[in-house]
């Protein structure tokens, strides 16, 4: 079962034309870089390893100003694999929630063998947030750096943006591929003017 980490900002959600919209964000590779261990990229496992990517706070602020809810949906299987602690992962997510304009953080601690409904590419975390917050998914976006993020976004009916793309087989094509979160935010906001 996924864990939800509270809501920042409080108050009623912003509505545009009476529609609540969101940008769902993967964490590692979108908001923060990975950590290199033994030549391989890993998710940071403690707060001391966390670094926010350049332009992320400003990009999030621009999306929030346009009325989007900002919800992090992150797979964190390193906990059950024994490479990270739940407390370490939660401290990173809580820091982000406190220091970035994020409305909600949802964490899946499962691995593929658990066959849960929340581990991306399944859309469970997105659906749960949408139900709780009355988000209209067809007016929302999913931004991620892996095919699992794109798969979850597409399964939920969101438009999908691949950023900082991981070098891995492309199993599911995104709606658009861009350099990073600031470029994705600019693309989303540019569509507002169409």
Q: What is the pLDDT of residues 122-152, one digit of tens each?
A: 999 999 999 999 999 999 999 999 999 999 9
Q: Identify the structural domains of the chain with CATH numbers, from first to last.
A: 18-192 (3.40.50.1000)
Active site includes 38? no
pTM of the model: 0.90
Torsional class of 164: left (φ above 0), alpha (ψ -120 to 50), beta (otherwise): left
Sign of CA dihedral 102, 108, 112, 115: negative
Tokens of 91: 């401290």
pLDDT tens digit sequence for 167-183: 666 678 999 999 999 99
Of 26, 78, 145, 180, the catalytic one is: 26
**CA 116 to CA 123: how far, in whole Å?**
10
pLDDT tens digit sequence for 73-91: 999 988 888 889 999 999 9
Mapped onto helix, strand or coil, the DSSP state of residue 177 is strand
- Block residue for tokens 């693309």: 187
Mapped onto helix, strand or coil, the DSSP state of residue 143 is strand
Active site includes 26? yes
């Amino acid at each position: 079962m996924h864990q939800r980490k509270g809501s920042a900002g409080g108050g009623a959600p912003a509505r545009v034309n009476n529609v609540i919209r969101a940008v769902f964000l993967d964490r590692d590779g979108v908001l923060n870089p990975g950590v290199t261990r033994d030549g391989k990229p890993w998710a940071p496992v403690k707060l001391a390893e966390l670094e926010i990517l350049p332009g992320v706070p400003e990009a999030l602020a621009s999306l929030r100003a346009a009325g989007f809810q900002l919800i992090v949906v992150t797979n964190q299987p390193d906990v059950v694999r024994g490479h990270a602690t739940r407390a370490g992962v939660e401290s990173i997510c809580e820091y982000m929630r406190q220091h970035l304009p994020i409305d909600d953080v949802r964490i899946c601690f499962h691995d593929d063998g658990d066959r849960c409904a929340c581990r991306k590419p399944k859309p469970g975390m997105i659906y749960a947030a949408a139900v709780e917050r009355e988000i209209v998914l067809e007016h929302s976006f999913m931004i991620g750096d892996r095919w699992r993020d794109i798969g979850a976004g597409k399964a939920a009916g969101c438009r999908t943006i691949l950023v900082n793309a991981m070098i891995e087989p492309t199993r599911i094509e995104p709606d658009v591929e861009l350099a990073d979160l600031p470029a994705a935010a600019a693309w989303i906001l540019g569509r507002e003017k169409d």
